[in-house]
Amino acid sequence: MIEAKHLTKKFGDVVAVDDLNLFIARGELFSLLGLNGAGKTTTIKMLSCLMRPTTGEATIMNKHLIKDAQYIKQRINVSPQETAIAPNLNVIENLKMIAGIYGFSRHDIPQKADEMVAAFNLSDVRKKKARLLSGGMQRRLSVAMALITEPEILFLDEPTLGLDVIARRELWAIIRQLKGKKTIILTTHYLEEAEALSDRVAIMYKGRIKAIGTVGELLDQTGADTLENAFILLNEREII
Residue 190: what pLDDT? 87
- Model confidence over 49-83: pLDDT tens digits? 999 999 999 999 999 999 999 999 989 998 887 77
Instruction: Confirm if 227 and 210 have CB atoms less than 8 A apart.
Output: no
Domains and CATH numbers, the chain: 1-75+153-170+180-240 (3.40.50.300), 78-150 (no CATH)
Q: Using CA atoms, how far apart are residues 214 and 235, in angstroms rounded to an integer?
A: 18
3-state SS class at 79: strand
Q: Under 8 Å CB-to-CB from 191, ≥6 apart: which residues?
A: 33, 227, 228, 231
Enumerate the β-bridge partners of residue 64: 59
**Closest CA relative to residue 82, chosen from 161, 6, 20, 141:** 161
pLDDT tens for each residue of 5-43: 999 999 999 999 999 999 999 999 999 998 888 899 999
- Written as one string, the DSSP assignment of 118-139 is HHTT-GGGTTSBGGGS-HHHHH
Q: How far apart are CA 187 and CA 39, in angstroms?
A: 10
